[in-house]
Amino acid sequence: MPLLFTPLAEQDLESIAKYIAADNVPRALSFVRELRQQCQRIALNPAGYRMRPELGEGIRSCAHGHYVIFFEALADAVTVVRILHGARDLPELFQADDDAPR
């Protein structure tokens, strides 16, 4: 199934890389690569991951290390919506995303 990333998910990956790179550039690169590989695995069986109705209709999640990949699985593609640290206020962030002008 095709895999897509929202602009916010791409920004999340950039932010994660910058944060890790402040201490360890090679690890930043390898960790972002791992996150992208995990997203590819999600696309193979998206229905196998946890539903997150408290964050939005159709949202599912998959943990990878301390980060959580949030995605939507439609009939024609899997879309990665956000990639966030698990300690963040996730409901607040998803609410802010819903309130943002499009």
Residues 6+ apart with CB under 8 A from 55: 61, 70, 90, 91, 94
SS3 40: helix
Averaged pLDDT, groups of 10, the chain, 102 residues long: 94 96 96 97 95 92 95 95 88 68 40
Strand 3-5 and strand 50-51: pairing?
unpaired
Say what the pTM is. Answer: 0.89
Provide, for the chain, the percentages of residues in helix, strand and coil under a 3-state DSSP scheme, each rounded to the nearest 5: 45, 25, 25
Q: Are 13 and 32 in contact (CB under 8 A)?
A: yes
